[in-house]
Amino acid sequence: MTAQPAEMRNVFSGDEGDRVLAEALFGSLREATGDGVGITREAYSERESLALDLVEAKARELGLATERDAGANLVVTLAGREPELPFLACGSHLDSVPQGGNFDGAAGVIAGLAIIARFKEEGFVPRRTIKVYALRGEESARFGKAYMGSSALFGKLSTADLSVRDHASGQALSECMRAVGVDMARVERAEPLLDPATVAAWIELHIEQGPVLVARDLPIGIVTGIRGNIRHREVECLGEAGHSGAVPRWLRRDAVFATAELITHLDRHWRTLLERGRDVVITAGVLGTDPQEHAIARIPGTVRFSFEVRSQNRETLEAFYDLFLSECGLVGEERGVEFRVDRRLESAPAVMDAGWIARLKAAARNLGLPDEDIPSGAGHDAAVFANAGIPSAMIFVRNQNGSHNPQEAMAIDDFLAGIAVMRDAIREAVR
């Protein structure tokens, strides 16, 4: 296939069959699970089940075999010539955040379905079996815990995880899982519902949810890894309150200036690490003085803030975290304040499989599409699969207006480009 000229790269007409399937399924999902403003199909809820039913019905319509696994996820299977070999898994999650978008998760499920539907239509029987998963429970919005569906597959949900309650209804995660048909006996025993050795790969298409592909004018990106993180929900800077007019600089222990200085130093370190080629982002998303103590003429004695560092590389995470603690000490000394951190929370980074990254890039190039790298800042089920030892890969599709909001958008042509790349890469791997 000849490379398309540069101007054409951003308009991928793709495949009429894919387009029709995508429009039909996104349409019926929006109709069934729209809430008037955005999309609501919360983890382990009736509307999530409804979404699974819709996708299952379409799969059956296309003549594909469907079933529900022990985790109550939907699995659509295209049998291979050698079904005893480890199968290739693909798909994504079908739940959403409240009042979210229609594409977050659903795009990956529909992509998987489109791919095996085409194979069936072509009469292409892969060597390995291919299974498309519509996973439940990826979003943390309902229970505070993310990737519940994929974690349950690998026996990774703890008793503490299962007892977490939904704020609105007060129901525990375990109750909600039981209600939709999850095999709780096994999940509660932390028994894997899926043997990683039986899975050859996990390939997931997902919207980027960030601004980079739009900024770089790329319809798709091949994901190199999923950023892990280290977090503190609350760091306290303790100085000394005082009268803003009466205290000279050398006697001040100003919590605001100290925190501002800490953050400025961390920002310098961040720029330096980026210059040296490391992948890292840091954020203080929650920050403030105590409104009860607010006064213009008062030197603030206390500031509370959150801190998070994310990176694809574990070593970078730990190194930056050390810098953070070290700066808390240095700035604390210089400014006469104390920085107190709460419990350290963390999430492991996940590396995507080099072989699959190469395959996806080659497929993109052969279709005349760009083959650029992109890290995943947001977490995905693919991280759970990767950390279970399954070679995993993700392809991002450009999307507008971010994610987790009703304005979340994705151009159908970009989606078709993503499907085409994923299909060709998979076809090559399971020939």
Partner 1 sequence: MSANETGREVAQLLFRAGAIHVSRQQPFILAAGWASPVYVDVRLLLGDPQLRQAVSDLAARYAGAAFPPGSLDAIAGAETAGIPFAAWLADRLALKLRYVRKRPLGIGRNAQVEGGSVEGLRVLLMDDLTTDGGSKLNFARGLRAAGAVVEHVLTIFYHDAFPGADARLREAGLTLHALANWGDVLRAEAGSGLSPEDRAEIERFLADPVSWSTRHGGRASLAPRT
Q: What is the binding site for partner 1 (CB under 8 A)?
A: 248-251, 265, 268-269, 272-273, 276, 319-320, 322-323, 326, 330, 333, 336
Distance of CA 155 to the CA centre of its chain: 20
Report the 3 state secondary structure along 179-241: HCCCCHHHHHCCCCCCCHHHEEEEEEEEECCCCHHHHCCCCEEEEEEECEEEEEEEEEEECCC
Closest CB to partner 1 among 240 and 353? Answer: 240
Angstrom distance (rounded) from CA 72 to CA 49? 9
Give the shortest CB-329-to-partner 1 separation in angstroms: 12
The C-alpha atoms of residue 324 and residue 196 are separated, in whole angstroms, by 37
Minimum gap (Å) between residue 306 Cβ and partner 1? 22
Nearest distance, CB of residue 279 and partner 1, angstroms = 14
Q: Which residues contact 200 (CB under 8 A, 6 or more apart)?
A: 85, 86, 87, 88, 89, 128, 390, 391
- Least spacing, CB of residue 268 vs partner 1, in Å: 6
249 or 431: CB nearest partner 1: 249
Question: In angstroms, rounded to a whole number, what is the distance separating the alpha carbons of residues 133 and 430?
Answer: 17
Six-digit token string for 72:
């109550």
Q: How far is the CB of 337 from partner 1 (least distance, A)?
A: 12
107 vs 331 by CB, closer to partner 1 = 331
Q: What is the token pair recorded at 181?
A: 């048909």
- Least distance (Å) from partner 1 to the CB of residue 237? 17
CB-nearer residue toward partner 1: 8 or 251: 251
| Continuous segment of H or E residues that includes residue 172 | none
| Alpha-carbon torsion (204, 207, 209, 212), positive or negative | positive
For residue 35, count other CB atoms closer than 10 A to its CB. 14
Q: How far is the CB of 342 from partner 1 (least distance, A)?
A: 24
Closer residue to partner 1 (CB): 165 or 265: 265
Decide whether 132 or 273 has the Cβ nearer to partner 1.
Answer: 273
Q: Where does residue 356 rank: exposed (0-12), middle (13-18), buried (19+ CB within 10 A)?
A: buried
Of 197 and 246, CB closest to partner 1:
246
